[in-house]
């Protein structure tokens, strides 16, 4: 995928599996997924990729999220992220920046391994609200602290919207987590939005009142998701969620007043 002169490539780490009704649903409507059965397997499970995106902009080699890591259980399996990078000719020491949409485990898995930083020359960036929530808060989960605290010497926090690399801007989109961030890639009049978990499934770009079980603040998450979807609807802007099928970009279009996602 090219946005102007900027290249964006999916990096698949593995696969996640969640019972759809326990992950996303319309409150009070237990059979809401009946209208979107094509998104599920025969058992009503939503199967989705884990990974991130490689963005090449000028002399910068940027990762947006870092997969789930070497995890393997009945719901999440990772382990392929570094091989995916090597397939693009990128070694860990080539990465100049790692930026996180948020700090859930399936987005930071290859940030560190065994307490050591995986991308030794990279500057790591994340919104300050997520660092406070996941790492420095008194009730932060010990596992998250162990995974993320080693990043401190190479960490830069940000608290406002703006550029974090050439052609890449951070846009605070709280709700899924306190510091949830969308990264807007733009060049030569073209634009693509990397949504992270602001949107878990393409279904949410059409369904205005669905909620995700994983959202810290469901009302705020719904509001920001709808604001972004309405903003890009029927424009040339491309969007992709962190778990969209095949990590494929698409556009939001409207028909009869209803929104829908169409992959490109």
Q: What's the structural domain count of the chain?
A: 1
For the ranges 19-28, 192-201, 233-242, the lowest mean pLDDT is seen at 19-28
Kindly report, residue by residue over 159-184, the tens digit of the pLDDT: 999 999 999 999 999 999 999 999 99
Q: What is the mean pLDDT of residues 197-219?
A: 95
What's the chain's average pLDDT?
97
* Confidence bin at 153 (pLDDT 50/70/90): very high
Residue 140: CB atoms within 10 A of its CB come to 17
The answer to whether residues 149 and 133 touch, using CB atoms and an 8 Å cutoff, is: no
241 dihedral zone (left: phi>0; alpha: psi -120 to 50; beta): beta
**pTM (2 d.p.):** 0.97
**Tokens representing 74?**
């009945």
Quote the domain boundaries for residue 73.
2-263
Q: What is the mean pLDDT of residues 241-255?
A: 98
pLDDT above 90: percentage of residues in the chain: 97
Residue closest to 229 by CA, chosen among 200, 208, 243, 257? 208
Q: What is the mean pLDDT of residues 43-64?
A: 97
Predicted confidence at residue 30, as pLDDT, reads 83
- Tell me the CATH number at 87: 3.60.15.10
């Amino acid at each position: 995928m090219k946005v102007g002169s900027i290249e964006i490539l999916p990096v698949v780490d593995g696969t996640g599996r969640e019972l759809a009704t326990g992950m996303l649903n319309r409150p009070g409507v237990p059979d809401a997924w009946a209208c979107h059965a094509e998104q599920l397997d025969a058992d009503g499970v939503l199967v989705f990729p884990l990974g991130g995106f490689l963005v090449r902009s000028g002399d910068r080699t940027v990762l947006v999220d870092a997969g789930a890591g070497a995890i393997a259980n009945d719901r999440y399996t990772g382990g392929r992220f570094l091989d995916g990078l090597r397939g693009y000719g990128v070694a860990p020491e080539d990465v100049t920046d790692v930026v996180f949409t948020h700090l859930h485990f399936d987005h930071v898995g290859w940030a560190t391994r065994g307490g050591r930083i995986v991308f030794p020359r990279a500057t790591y960036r994340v919104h300050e609200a997520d660092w406070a929530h996941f790492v420095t808060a008194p009730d932060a989960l010990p596992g998250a602290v162990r995974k993320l605290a080693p990043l401190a010497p190479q960490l830069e926090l940000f608290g406002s919207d703006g550029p974090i690399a050439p052609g890449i801007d951070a846009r605070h989109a709280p709700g899924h987590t306190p510091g949830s961030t969308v990264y807007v890639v733009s060049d030569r009049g073209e634009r693509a939005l990397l949504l992270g978990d602001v949107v878990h499934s393409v279904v949410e770009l059409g369904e205005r009142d669905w909620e995700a079980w994983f959202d810290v603040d469901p009302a705020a998450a719904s509001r920001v998701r709808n604001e972004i979807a309405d903003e890009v609807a029927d424009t040339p802007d491309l969007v992709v969620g962190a778990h969209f099928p095949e990590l494929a970009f698409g556009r939001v279009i409207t028909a009869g007043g209803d929104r829908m996602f169409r992959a490109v």
